[in-house]
């Protein structure tokens, strides 16, 4: 399945890109995705293993199963206001 990954703020700067498509095996979860991203190495590897994720624009636990076409964002610690 193919996931649309979005990166923001510090994580985007580490990765050097704000979005990419990631191909994952069936049964993959949000945690699988984070590991797949980290395994790209370089700045990607500096994204924390326990990064917060949002699946289809809602905060989601790392065990969340993913589906083809999902939009998943890696959310650095937030600092609005």
By the criterion CB under 8 A, which residues form the site for another protein? 6, 8-10, 13, 52, 54, 57-64, 73, 75-81
- As a whole number of angstroms, the distance between CA 51 and CA 34 comes to 8
> Residue 3: which of 59, 64, 55 has the closest Cα?
55
- State the nearest-atom distance from the C-beta of 70 to another protein, in Å: 13
Shortest distance, position 80 Cβ to another protein, whole Å: 3
User: Given the complex with another protein, which of 24 and 51 has the nearer CB atom?
Assistant: 51
Instruction: Give min distance, CB of 62 to another protein, in A.
Output: 8
Joined together, the tokens standing for residue 27 give 């049964």
> Residues for the chain: how many in total?
81
């Amino acid at each position: 399945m193919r996931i649309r990954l979005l990166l923001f703020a510090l994580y985007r700067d580490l990765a050097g890109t704000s979005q990419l498509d990631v191909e994952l095996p069936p049964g993959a979860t949000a945690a699988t995705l984070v590991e797949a991203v980290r395994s790209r190495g370089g700045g990607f590897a500096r994204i924390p293993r326990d990064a917060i994720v949002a699946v289809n624009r809602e905060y989601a636990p790392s065990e969340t199963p993913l589906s083809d076409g999902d939009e998943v964002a890696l959310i650095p610690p937030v600092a609005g206001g």
